[in-house]
Amino acid sequence: MMTGMNSSRNCCICGQAPNTCGRPQNVCGQPQNMCGQPQNICGQPQNVCSQPQNVCSQPQNMCGQPQNMCGQPQNVCSRPQTMCGQVQTREQLMRRINESSFAVNEAVLFLDTHPDCEEALRYYREVSEMRTNAVNAYQRQFGPLTSNDAAGNSWTWINGKWPWEGGC
Amino acid sequence: MWNYEKRLQYPVNIKEPNAEIAKYIMSQYGGPDGEIGASLRYLSQRYSMPYGEQKALLTDIGTEELAHLEMVATIVHQLTRNLSAEELEAQGFGTYYIDHTAGIWPQSAGGVPFSACAFQSKGDPITDLFEDLAADGTMM
């Protein structure tokens, strides 16, 4: 899970990861969703993902600022975590993962018995994206949280403290 | 199938070991109302549940109980780590230490090993739900 280099959401039309055209988002003159299809192909405006792409309530890069508000095109900067000049510590990122995971867990249990609740579905999508972004940001800097993300130059799963040792 | 995420559901960072408290906390790991019993209860009962909503719920709660199990084990581990045999004995941990040293093993505070007799699975969803209410009422 969550192996992407970028934490931005998938294209809401085609479901593919952004930047699959190999060009930085927002600066290639292509539609934002990068799926090789015009932005409005579905007849809906760009923001059909329930939140405007650049003003989502959670900062996409976990730096405390909304995506693209730091004056740099998203993903162009080679320092995804620090592109707004702020660094999240390991503790801060883990706290964000724990908090968003708790919200996801509770939403899951609620949805199990309220599968048609639109408000709960919206909430689930919101906190789930928050969690995905936090997990991706953590893994980029501090190593894998799942063995799926451990195959680097060596097998990094074995590195670092384990949870019961005070690792996370 | 399950996947492991390398973090605790809630962080545990104990500064001062205390084997006496560990002996009590241990019951929430392998005691009659502990997390291993809770997890096995829900994960076992789900096979006779006929409804999708409750199959999902039993699966998801049984899974979350495993995360609780890991937190409790971590508490016991951190409360007993780096203590000498003498310190552990002085803190009332001698009867556990003689069999397990500072290893994690599922038993109650009174030393009774974990037993599946701490929960039921009767093949009848109503009966099982009543058993869940008795065991973990605030969750269900």
pLDDT-based confidence at A36, cuts 50/70/90?
A: very low
CA distances from A38 to A14, A29, A54, B130 (A): 11, 11, 18, 56
Chain-chain contact of B4 with A168 (C-beta, under 8 angstroms): no
Q: Does B3 touch chain A (CB under 8 A)?
A: yes
Identify the CA nearest to B114 among candidates B86, B64, B72: B72
Looking at the complex, report in whole angstroms how far the Cα of residue A18 sits from the nearest Cα belonging to chain B: 25
Determine which of A112, A138, A148, A162 to mutate to test the interface with B (most B C-beta atoms within 10 Å). Answer: A112
Average pLDDT (A61-78) is 37
Residue A130: predicted pLDDT: 98
Instruction: List all residues 6 or more positions away from A112 whose beta carbon is below 8 Å from its beta carbon.
Output: B53, B54, B56, B57, B60
Q: Does B70 touch chain A (CB under 8 A)?
A: yes
Q: Find the CB nearest B4 among A109, A112, A146.
A: A146
Residue A88: predicted pLDDT: 83
pLDDT-based confidence at A15, cuts 50/70/90?
A: low
pLDDT-based confidence at A26, cuts 50/70/90?
A: very low
* CB distance A83 to A77 below 8 Å: yes
CA distance B48 to B62: 15
* CB distance B6 to A165 below 8 Å: no
Identify the CA nearest to B41 among candidates B22, B62, B13: B62
Residue A77: predicted pLDDT: 34
Who wins on pLDDT, B132 or A19? B132
pLDDT-based confidence at A33, cuts 50/70/90?
A: very low
Across B28-64, b (16+ Cβ under 10 Å) vs e yields: bbbbeebbbbbbbbbbbbbeebeeeebebbbebbbeb
pLDDT at residue A25 tops 50: no
pTM listed for this prediction: 0.72
Query: If you average pLDDT over every residue of chain B, what do you get?
Result: 96
Q: For residue range A50-68, what is the model confidence (pLDDT) as tens digits?
A: 333 333 333 344 333 334 3
Residue B136: predicted pLDDT: 79
Query: If you average pLDDT over every residue of chain A, what do you get?
Result: 66
In this prediction, the residues of chain B whose per-residue pLDDT falls under 50 are 140
- ipTM, two decimals, is 0.92
Tokens of A152: 């680097």
Residue A87: predicted pLDDT: 72
